[in-house]
Amino acid sequence: MRKLIVLAASIAPLAPAAQATVAGPNGLIAFRANTGGGDQIYTIDPETLAQVQLTHVDGDALQPHWSPDSSLITFEFDPANDCAHIAYMDADGGNMVVLPHANHNVCEAAPSFSPDGKRIFYEGFNGVRRDGIWSTSLDGSDRRLITNCEGGATGPEVSPDGRMLAFTCFSRKGQALFDSLVDGSHLRQLTPWSFNVGTKQDWSPDSDRMMFASIQNQGTPDAQANTATIRPDGTGLFWVTNYPAGGPLAFGNSYSPDGQWIVLRLEEDGLYALYKIHPNGTGLEQITPSRTFGRAVWPGARRADAPPIYEQAIKTTRKEKSHDHVKDAGHRGDGNASARGARRDGGARGRVHRPCVGRFRQLRVR
């Protein structure tokens, strides 16, 4: 039996949505998991824990992101002998489309849908210096360079109202959360470089807040990772989790479509599991058994033909787990814990793309 290591997740609404993260009932969570032979994309029903493997690619399938109507999932495809490509498929894993590189890019990664579902935003790296945020139509045409940062940019996420774009920028000083208008103008830094913001974030359903993860001393015994939210103007910073150095690592992935939860990946003592927590830092609840997973995003309808490999997870009862270092509502830094939908491979850590080169590879090691 192969062991799954959960790495990241995204959540989908049950009902079709007119915008990217329109509020609605919670559906499946999409996530990537290490199968022992590479990362593949799965879905899980947060109520029954039924899991379905969607991809069986030769290489890695990473960073799933739901379309607004939950009919498609876009993701990053890292072939065994090439750098990252943008791909998408039907919600059941069928009809996979891989877009060819364009605009002299050698790596294209971290895709997400626009709120109307007509475009995909992504990171494009040309193998030398330019590492920026692009958008494309679903057939790979009409490529547009949206914005650049001094040291590169990744993790684009358009706000549900279609007005703003959030992403992570790199520099020698660290990694910071930025936003801009959706056309890339009015670039604004929201967090200090020292926060070392992860490579994925999500908007609350009302576009009022952004969720992100801050990572310190990664790969050391003093590693620290916590999830926070902030307003688009950089005010109202609130730490949803507050684990100490050397404690559990909390990588926020996405808001739920009903806006009542944030799904996150919690790593502790070498074990991985998906949890959900209210945006005010209360009600931490385990979704998947420890030792099985990796990264998540939220939608759709589950299939009844989950293979035997998942039987233990399906039978395991979700449990609520108390962690002393999770802040309660009384420690909020502001009076608003906004809600909103999800669609994305929330994950906070960078990762190495096997054949990718130079600066793009270095960015992913962070």
Residues ≥6 apart with Cβ < 8 Å to 232 = 159, 164, 166, 179, 190, 207, 208, 209, 210
CATH number of the domain that 125 lies in?
A: 2.120.10.30
Q: Which positions of the chain have pLDDT values less than 70?
A: 1-25, 291-366
The DSSP code for 324 is T
What are the tens digits of pLDDT across the range 4-51?
Answer: 444 556 655 543 333 334 455 678 889 888 888 889 999 988 888 899
What are the tens digits of pLDDT across the range 325-334?
Answer: 343 333 222 2
> Distance between CA atoms of 241 and 232, rounded to whole angstroms?
20
Query: What is the model's pLDDT at position 10?
Result: 65
Query: What is the model's pLDDT at position 34?
Result: 83
Matching residue, tokens 């890339």: 184
Residue 152 vs residues 4, 86, 109, 146, 192: alpha-carbon distances, Å: 31, 18, 12, 13, 16
- Residue 167 in 3-state DSSP? strand
Query: What is the model's pLDDT at position 115?
Result: 94
Query: What is the model's pLDDT at position 323?
Result: 42
Query: What is the model's pLDDT at position 289?
Result: 81
Query: What is the model's pLDDT at position 243?
Result: 97
Matching residue, tokens 């998408």: 88
> Distance between CA atoms of 180 and 278, rounded to whole angstroms?
27
**CB 245, CB 214: distance < 8 Å:** no
**CB 38, CB 57: distance < 8 Å:** yes
What are the tens digits of pLDDT across the range 55-79?
Answer: 999 999 999 999 999 999 999 999 9
Instruction: Determine the structural domain holding residue 326 and report its residue range.
Output: 5-365
- Count of domains for the chain: 1
> Distance between CA atoms of 281 and 283, rounded to whole angstroms?
7
Matching residue, tokens 């059941």: 92
Query: What is the model's pLDDT at position 129?
Result: 80
pTM for the model: 0.78
